[in-house]
Chain A
Amino acid sequence: MMDWLASIGSQVRGGLANLGLQMRTLVAMLRASSGLPRRLRLVTDQVHFIGNYSLVIIAVSGLFVGFVLGLQGYYTLNKYGSEQALGLLVALSLVRELGPVVTALLFAGRAGTSLTAEIGLMKATEQLAAMEMMAVDPLARVLAPRFWAGVIAMPLLAAVFSAVGVLGGYIVGVVLIGVDEGAFWSQMQGGVELCADIGNGVLKSVVFGVAVSFIALYQGYVAAPTPEGVARATTRTVVIGSLMVLWLDFLLTALMFS
């Protein structure tokens, strides 16, 4: 019984210590970001790198999600004779939910894993230690630019996802099924609000960008410097990153749209 209690206590303590370390690393990285405005090139290079990495998978996924939304939306709306609202349904589903969430999940799997593996291998091959010995803070030089690049890239990628998704909905709904084109676009234009819908969607994306980028970088930074250590860290990035996105989505949706 005592052993059992002790093991629970030890796990809780370990978890809290880990959380504390994460927060301290986050704060240290944010502090270390102060020099970045003078060296924007470091961030823009990473935005290009991370964004480019994920653009194709995001665009293709957006198109297919748009196709599916067009089909499912049409069959459901058709039951009530309101298929004219298909454009509105597709657009709202994308900008409010699917755009930010699916983009963040794909980002965790595509760019997040690559960030974790990169940082983890830099640690395993002593590149981070070498940087420290050259009096250059890896948090400022390596982690911070990638973090901000992720935060910037995420809403941009979500916007691409939603835009391509709307196009997909249009192709299925208007071109293939024959929903009225004027109604499709005008309902969308009339029903989607800039602040409440698009603004909140962008805000979600930024929050997901912060969460996923930091999780990916942190997992790489604390990875055991061995092949298994990096492999485990990469897996943790996807698992923790995805769960965090879904949990945050629920939280943000409850706050924004309740």
Chain B
Amino acid sequence: MSHFVDIRDLHFGYNERAILSGLTMQFERGKVIAVMGGSGSGKTTVLRLIGGQITAQSGSVTVDGQEVAALDQPTLYQLRRRMGMLFQHGALFTDLSVFDNVAFPLREHTALPESAIHDLVLMKLHAVGLSNAASLKPSEISGGMARRVALARAVALDPQLIMYDEPFAGLDPISMGVTANLIRKLNDALGSTSILVSHDVNESFLIADHVYFLSQGRIVAHGTPQQMRASDDPYVRQFVHAQADGPVPFHYPGRSIDELLGLTNQS
């Protein structure tokens, strides 16, 4: 089976509010796949559904052939050992040092001696360029560095699937380029599948093999970055060329400003 993650006809919402409706996506093994869309389009929800943190109302999410929603906790945890996730703000454990953060999954899930853990952690930190920051606390490092430490932690167990939630948000251009490069290199070095949730067009297009565009809980377009750049789809055009107005309205839907100001009755 070439798809590591397979999402079919997925519906998810909170109470009456639908977040995802009829979503179908495939994530091919060994590829970097970007899921793009504006804020509130349901991108992060897709990651949380793949990780089994939430369950959809209908439809299916399978990871490596296993239906995520049907797994009991021990089996789900077994599956998660093969996943790594980079949270938007890193989510480093603030009471642990950089070294201990990266060592955390190794200590929890392996019986390796401390000397082996020491070497492995330093290698992982070296891969993200932070082997000399091992003794620092998360509060002593910058946001970009924290993201890289979190990345080292996410790949500590050499996962088959790595999920990135807005890895470029709030980073300076240098950190952004560094992070993008790391994502591609780690994916290729580990032979894993990467799902990249982002709204950063340039960096995502640079490293992704395939791009999905998500709007209001649906896939509106997908293809290679080149195809997306050349796309005539109004939503994709608006997004790729950062136009203020288009299919995604500038104004939050509702009454017009004239109605809100009570001007329509006076005229």
Contact = CB atoms under 8 A, between A and B. Distances in A.
Contact of A133 (B73, B85, B92): B85
Contact of B83 (A125, A133, A136, A137): A133
Using C-beta atoms within 8 Å of the partner chain, give the interface range for chain B: 20 to 34
B77 A137 contact: yes
Nearest to B51: A133
A129 B91 contact: yes
Contact of A134 (B80, B88, B89): B80
A126 interface: yes
Nearest to A141: B108
Interface string B77-121: 110110101011101111000000000110011000000000000
A130 interface: yes
Tell me which of B78, B81, B85, B91 has the highest count of chain A C-beta atoms within 10 A of its own C-beta: B91
Main secondary structure of the interface of B (DSSP, over half): mixed
B53 interface: yes
Contact of B87 (A129, A135, A136, A137): A129
Nearest to A140: B108
Interface residues of A, number: 14
Contacts of A137: 73, 77
Interface string B118-157: 0000000000000000000000000000000010010000
Contacts of A127: 91-94
B77 A135 contact: yes
Tell me which of B51, B53, B78, B108 has the highest count of chain A C-beta atoms within 10 A of its own C-beta: B108
A181 interface: no
B105 A132 contact: no
B78 A135 contact: yes
A125 B80 contact: no
Tell me which of A125, A129, A135, A136 has the highest count of chain B C-beta atoms within 10 A of its own C-beta: A135
Contacts of B78: 135
Report the 9 A-B pairs with minimum CB-CB distance, sorted nearest first. A130-B91, A135-B80, A126-B91, A135-B77, A133-B85, A135-B81, A126-B87, A134-B105, A136-B108
